[in-house]
Amino acid sequence: MQPAHPLDAVTHPDPYPYYAALARDRPLYRDAALDMWIAAHPDAISAVMRHPAARVRPVAEPVPRGLCPGAAGDMFSRFVRMNDSAAHTRLKGLLAVFIQAQQQSAPTSPAWLPPAPHDAAGIDGYLYAAPVHAQAAFLGLERDLHADCAADIGGFLSALPAQAGAGRIAAGHAAAARLLGRLETLLTGQHASPALHRLCTDAAQAGIARESLAANLAGLLFQSCEAGAGLLGNALVMAGRRRTPAAITPEDAEALIDEVVRHDPPLHNTRRFMAEAAQIGGQRIEAGQTVLLVLAAATMIQPEAGWTFGAHNHACPGGLPARRHAADASVHLLRAGVDPSALAARFRYRALPNARVPQFDFLEDSKP
């Protein structure tokens, strides 16, 4: 049975024929049941992304209500990912330069890798933790802080859904405060890399507050987590289906990750929120409407374009490190004896609205 709608497609076993048909036949349409516009063709997605009225957050709710007031809300409000302000453009440029410079100087040996787990529950945890460990090492945080960062990003993520209860929200604030503290210490301390020093100097010259810089370095940990979990998890499933040998080479792992980006990408959609009414692709979209940008459908028309990493103004600056870290983790897990065929034989997808993340440990009759 094909997916009922584009949100249902994220967790469907094989949504790709549906996505291809959507991009071809319904480039931009309104889905009354979802109460959203759906953009599925690359041209329609680009037109929305480029339109000044299409914002990354609803005008009335720049920060999820449940997170305000508190450290988690304050951190969220500063993320470039969640802003269309002039500050976004300034800071985004500096972050992109930093990521590129750090990429050249970061150690090639993946010393950041946490020990490989050997059961399905351990793999599920590893998918979320490994990308944060990788990013923490990439930023230059000391090794004994990596696991704490992964746990705190987990705490922050759990506080984001609108239905998160008071306990999760309190834990999210505490996690955000600890993350901000660690990154401020890194920024002011002796261990900052030359690329990080330059980022600090350039940000100060551009009038960007140190708190914003620290929040956005925590933002890099946050951005790498769930999408990174999907990239690594979908790579394990693909390796299992292809019976990839345990002695996988780094080059084979990079090719595997590229295949996943093209054929089973980790992030299937993102959203824009209309601040004003706009005429896009021959259709009038009213103020206050949400537009779902189906990146995985655009991938079916342009498989080489890396749509899962977004495009235009808010395009992901972390695509290269994300691919490299997922390739390193795949080599590590396979060589440590993790059997991808066994994983691919029994899994389901987590019930997420935009990321495709496999879950290997679950009870048959439990809800995803």
Q: Which candidate, 347, 342, 346, 340, places its Cα nearest to that of 368?
A: 347
198, 98 Cβ separation under 8 angstroms: yes
The distance of closest approach from Cβ of residue 362 to ligand HEM in the complex, given in angstroms and rounded to an integer, is 23
Give the type of residue at 77.
S
Helix (H) or strand (E) holding 67: none
Residue 66: how many CB atoms within 10 A of its CB? Answer: 19
- C-beta of 171 vs 266, nearer to ligand HEM: 266
Query: Checking DSSP bridges between strand 283-285 and strand 278-280, what pairing results, if any?
Result: antiparallel
Of the pair 19, 309, the CB lying nearest ligand HEM is at 309
- Rank residues 169 and 300 by Cβ distance to ligand HEM and give the closer one: 300
- Within 211-365, strands assigned E span 270-274, 278-280, 283-285, 290-293, 348-349, 358-359
- Rounded to a whole number of angstroms, the minimum distance from the CB of residue 96 to ligand HEM is 8
Q: Whole-number minimum distance, CB 79 to ligand HEM, in Å?
A: 7
Judged by the rule CB under 6 A, the positions of this chain that interact with ligand HEM are 56, 80-81, 92, 95, 99, 135, 219-220, 223-224, 227-228, 231, 266-267, 270, 308-310, 314, 316-318, 321-322
Closest approach of Cβ 44 to ligand HEM, in Å?
15
In contact, 266 and 11? CB cutoff 8 Å: no
Phi and psi of 278, rounded to 5°? -150, 155
Nearer to ligand HEM, 244 or 308 (CB): 308
Q: Which residue is nearest to ligand HEM (CB)?
A: 318
Which has the closest alpha carbon to 306: 293, 320, 292? 320
Is the four-CA dihedral 326, 332, 338, 341 of positive or negative sign? Answer: positive
Shortest distance in whole angstroms from residue 297 CB to ligand HEM = 14
> Among residues 67 and 296, whose Cβ is nearest to ligand HEM?
296
Q: In a 10 Å sphere around its CB, with 0-12 CB exposed, 13-18 middle and 19+ buried, how is residue 28 labelled?
A: buried
By C-beta, is 299 or 359 nearer to ligand HEM?
Answer: 299
Cβ atoms of 98 and 195 closer than 8 Å? yes
> What is the nearest approach in angstroms of ligand HEM to the Cβ of residue 309?
5
CA dist., res. 168 & res. 184, Å (int): 24
- Give min distance, CB of 159 to ligand HEM, in A: 19
Nearer to ligand HEM, 70 or 310 (CB): 310
